[in-house]
Chain A
Amino acid sequence: MNMNLQFLAMTIFLTTIFFHIIRRNSYTASAYAVQSLAVVLLLFRSFLATGSLSMLLTVILVLAIKVFLALHLFSNFVKKYKPGVSATAYLNLPLTLIVVAALSAFAHSRVFAPLAAIVPENAALLSLGIAGMLISLLLMVNRKGILSQIIGVLSLENSIVVFGLFAGLEQSAILQIGIMFNILVWLIITSIFSSMIYRHFGALETAEMTSLKE
C-alpha cells in the first residue's frame, strides 16, 4: 500500500469529519476545496498509472469545477448573504462526534466486509470511503444551514468517487465528465435558488422552512 494513497484518503476522510467540527462557513468552503484537491490528486495518480488522455481531461475538469469554481461560488455566497457566520446543528459537538465515531465503526464492521472485500488490498481504504459517505449524509441530517447541506451533497459525491477508485470500479471518462457537468449545473442552480430563497424569506436555515410546509 502506498503512503501517498493513504495520506490522500485520510485527508478526504478527515475533511469530512472536519465539516462537522467547524462552524464558520468560510472555513467549510475552504475545507471542501482541500477535499476536492485530494480527490483531484487521486485521479491524477490514476492518470499517471493508466496514461489515458480522457482521464487527464477529467482531472482538469474536476480541478476547475470542484476546486476553483466551487470555492469561488461559495466564498461569494458567504460574503453576499452571510448565511449565519457560524452554522448551527441539531446535535452538539460531542454528540456529533460520538455519532460520527459510531458510523465509522459501523462502516468498518463485519456488515460491510463483503464490500471491503472487493479489492482485498484496499480493504481499509474502502471502509474509509464508506465511512466518508455515511458521515457526509450525517452532515446533511445534522446541519441547519443551507451551505452545509450543499457541502454535504458534494462531499458525499467525493466519497463515492474515492470508493469507486479504490474499489477498482473503473468509471469511464465519459461518465466522469457527465457527472462533472451535472455538478456544475447543480452548483449553479443551488446558488441561484438559495439566493432567491434568501431574498424571499430572509433565511437559509432548513428549520425555518418548515413554516412553508402547508
Chain B
Amino acid sequence: MTEFFASSRGFVVLLLLFAIGAAGSLLFNKNDRQANYWSNLFACAGSLWGMFVAIGALVAPEPVAFTLGFSPFSLLRFSFLLDRLAAFFLFVISLIAFFCSIYAIDYVKHYYGKYGIGTLGFFYNIFIAGMLLVASAANGLFFLVAWEIMSVASFFLVIHDRDEQENIRAGLLYLIMTHLGTAFIIAAFLLLYRSTGSFDFSAIQSGGAAISPVVKNAVFVLSLIGFGTKAGIIPLHVWLPAAHPAAPSHISGLMSGVMIKTGIYMMIRVFLDLLAPFPLWWGVVLLIAGAVSALLGVLYALAEHDIKKLLAYHSIENIGIILLGLGSALTFLSLQLPTLALLGLVASLFHTLNHATFKSLLFLGAGAVINQTHTRNMEELGGLIRLMPQTALLFLTGSMAISALPPFNGFFSEWLTFQSLFQGIAATDSRTIWVFVIAAGSLAFTGGLALACFVKAFGAVFLARPRSNEAQHAREPSFFMLAGMWPLAALSLLFGIVSGYVANILQDVAGTLSVFQGFPSPFLLAETGRISAGGFSFVSPPVVFLLLLIALFAVFTAFNFLFFKKQKTTFGPTWDCGADLTPRMEITSTGFARSIILIFKGIMKPTMLKSVECRDGETRYLPKSREIRLGISNIYDTCLYKPAQDLALRFSLYARKMQSGLINMYILYILAALLGALYFSL
C-alpha cells in the first residue's frame, strides 16, 4: 500500500488533487460558498494524500525517484526525488497544510462578498502544490520553476486583502525580496551547472568533486543569501514582518510555519547533500547567522505590538535556532565529527517540525482573535480569556511550546540544539569554540526573551480587561476554526511527550544523507522514549511530563486541602481606591517590553517622538495635548536597504545622462558600438 503512495502515480494523484481544487475554485468564482468548500476540501484531501505519500517515502527502503512527462528542453527534467529528507519536509508541509485548510473553511467566510473566494482558493491550492514540488524536485531548473510557483502564488495570497494600501505595499516588498533571493539562487545553480554540466541534483552530487573550491564558496554565499531571504535570516528578513500581517491568517500560518522552511530544506539539500565536503567557515557563518537572527528576532518581537508582526519576528528567531543546529552540523562535518553533526542536524530538523506546529497554531489563534476583534494591535485587545476561553487555551499552548517550556515540543528541540552546541564547546579547539560559546549564550538569552515576549503577548491579548469596544464583543470562533487548532495544540504536546521516538525517526531521516553514510554508531541514542546525547546528558520526555503532572496535582491538592482548608474564599471587586477601574490602568504591552528594550538600546535604537499641542500657539505655555510615540528605528532600512537604493538611484541618474534625447547622439552610440564590436570580433 505504501508503495503506491510513494510512487509516480501516487504523486500524480497528489498534484491532481490540488489542480482540481485550484481549477474548481476558479470555476465557482461566482459563488463564494461553493468556491470555499471546494477549494479547502480539496486542499484537505490533497494534504492528507501528501501525508500518506510522505509516510510511504519515509518507510520505503530506497529513495523513490521518478520523472514525470517529458520536457521540451534538454536541461529541464521534471524529475522527483523522494528520499527521507524530502519525505520529511513533504510530511511537515502536508501536515500543516491539512490543519490550515480545515481552519480556512470557516475562516475565509468573513471574506464572503468582499473579495473573490475563488481566486483565494485557486492560489491557495497552487501555493501548497508549489511547496510540495519544491520539496520533491530533483532538477535545478524544475526546482526554480516550482520555487517561482510557490513565491508568486504566495504573493497573490499576501495581497488578497487588497483594499488596504499597506497590504499592497507589503506584498510588493515581499515580491521584490523573494525575487532578489531567487536571482541569487539562479546564479548559484548556474555556477553549479557550469562546473558539473547538469542541473540534475544527482549529477551535481556525483560531479561535486570537480567543483573548484572558489566556485563552491561562491555557490555557498549565493545560496545562503537566496535561501536566507526566503527563510528570513537577519538582515534579509524585512519582508517577513510586513507580509505576514497582510496575509489572511491561515496563509500566514502556512507561510511562517512551512514556506520559510523550504529555505532551510534547500540549505540542507545544497550544503550537506550536493556540496559536501566543505570548508569550516561555512558552518561558522551559519552559526553566526543563526545566533544573530535568533537574538535580534526575539528582541524585535518584544518591541512589536502588532500581534502578527510579533509572531513574524518570532519566526525569524526560530529560523535562527534551526540554523544554529544546521550550522553546528556543518561545522562538525568539516571537523570530521559526523556523529555530532548528526546530532546537530536532528536538532534542526526537529525544531523545524516543532516550529511548524506551534507557529501555525499561534497564527491560527491570532487569526481567530483578529477575526473577532478586527484589530491586530495588542493595545486594543485584552480580556479575551473570558470571551474566547478555548482560543486562549490554544494560544497559551502555542506560547508555552514556542517559549520552550516542558513538556511541549519546543523544549526538546531546543534542548537538542543546546546539546549540540555544548558538544561543540566540549569537542572543538580554540578556533571554533568561541562561536559555539556565543551561539549557546545567544540561544539561552533568546529562550528567556521569548518567554518574556509571550508573557507579554498572552497577557496583553487575553488577560485583564478588554481595552476596546471590539474586544468586548469577541466570541469563540466557529467549529472548523477550532477543529483546525485543537489537533495542532495536541500535536505540540504529543511531539513533546514522544520526542524520543520522533528524534529516533529524524535520526534515520538525517542519517540517509550521503555525508553520514558509513558511520555506524549514532551519537544520539533514544530508547524507551528517552533522548540521550552520547552519555553527556539525557532527558526523558515522558518522565518530565509525568513529573509535571504530579507536581501540578500535588500543588493543587496541597493548596486546596491543606493550606486553604479552613479558609473561606470570597470573591469581590478589585480595590480601586474609590476610583473606577478602566482598561487604561492596565499595563500595556509597550510598557511591559520597554525596560527590556532600553537594556538593548545600543542594538535596537529605540525612538521617542514627543509632540505638544498648545492652546496658545505662539508662547506655548498652556499645553493642550501631548503625544509620545515610542518605536524602534529600522536600522536595516537606514543602514542597508536605503544606501543600496541610493546607490542604484545615483547610478541611474548617471546613466540617464547618456539619454540626451538627441538623435545624433544615439546614432553615435550605434556607430561606437558597431566599431567596438567589429574591432573586438574581427
Contact = CB atoms under 8 A, between A and B. Distances in A.
Partners in one complex: yes
A10 to B, nearest CB: 23
B34 to A, nearest CB: 52
Interface in A169-214: 206-207, 209-210, 212-214
Given A137-B670, A141-B671, A149 B679 contact: no
Interface in B655-671: 659-664, 667-668, 670-671
Contacts of A210: 660-662
B663 A149 contact: yes
Nearest to A211: B661
B16 interface: no
Contacts of B679: 111
B501 to A, nearest CB: 70
Contacts of A23: none
A141 B667 contact: yes
* Chain B interface size range: 10 to 19
A39 B664 CA distance: 27
A137 B674 contact: yes
Interface in A92-106: 106
B391 to A, nearest CB: 58
B682 interface: yes
Contacts of A111: 678-679, 682
Contacts of A144: 664
Nearest to B662: A210
A206 B674 contact: no
A162 B437 CA distance: 78
A213 B674 CA distance: 25
Nearest to B663: A206
Contact of B668 (A113, A141, A213, A214): A141
B675 interface: yes
The interface centre, meaning the residue of A115, A137, A149 with most chain B CB atoms within 10 A of its CB, is A137
B670 to A, nearest CB: 7
Nearest to B671: A137
B671 A142 contact: no
A144 B663 CA distance: 9
A106 B667 CA distance: 18
Given A115-B682, A137-B670, A206 B664 contact: yes
Contacts of A106: 675
A160 to B, nearest CB: 13
A108 B664 CA distance: 25
A207 B682 contact: no
Given A111-B678, A111-B679, A111-B682, A140 B661 contact: no
Interface string B18-32: 000000000000000
B193 to A, nearest CB: 33
B661 A90 contact: no
Contact of B661 (A113, A137, A138, A213): A213
A112 interface: yes
A56 interface: no
A63 interface: no
Given A106-B675, A134-B671, A134-B675, A140 B664 contact: yes
Contacts of B667: 137, 140-141
Given A140-B667, A141-B668, A112 B678 contact: yes
Contacts of B663: 140, 149, 206, 209
A210 B682 CA distance: 36
Given A106-B675, A137-B674, A212 B661 contact: yes
Interface in B626-682: 659-664, 667-668, 670-671, 674-675, 678-679, 682
A207 B664 CA distance: 9
B666 to A, nearest CB: 9
B671 A207 contact: no
A90 B682 contact: no
Given A111-B682, A115-B682, A206 B662 contact: yes
Contacts of B664: 90, 140-144, 206
Contacts of A114: 682
Contacts of A214: 661
Nearest to A140: B667
A106 B682 CA distance: 13
19 contacts: A111-B678, A111-B679, A111-B682, A112-B682, A113-B682, A134-B671, A137-B671, A137-B674, A138-B671, A140-B663, A140-B664, A141-B668, A142-B664, A144-B664, A209-B662, A209-B663, A210-B660, A210-B662, A212-B661
Interface of A: 90, 106, 111-115, 134, 137-138, 140-144, 149, 206-207, 209-210, 212-214
Interface of B: 659-664, 667-668, 670-671, 674-675, 678-679, 682
Given A111-B678, A206-B662, A209-B662, 16 more contacts: A90-B664, A112-B682, A113-B682, A137-B667, A137-B674, A138-B671, A140-B664, A140-B667, A141-B664, A141-B667, A142-B664, A206-B663, A209-B663, A210-B661, A210-B662, A213-B659
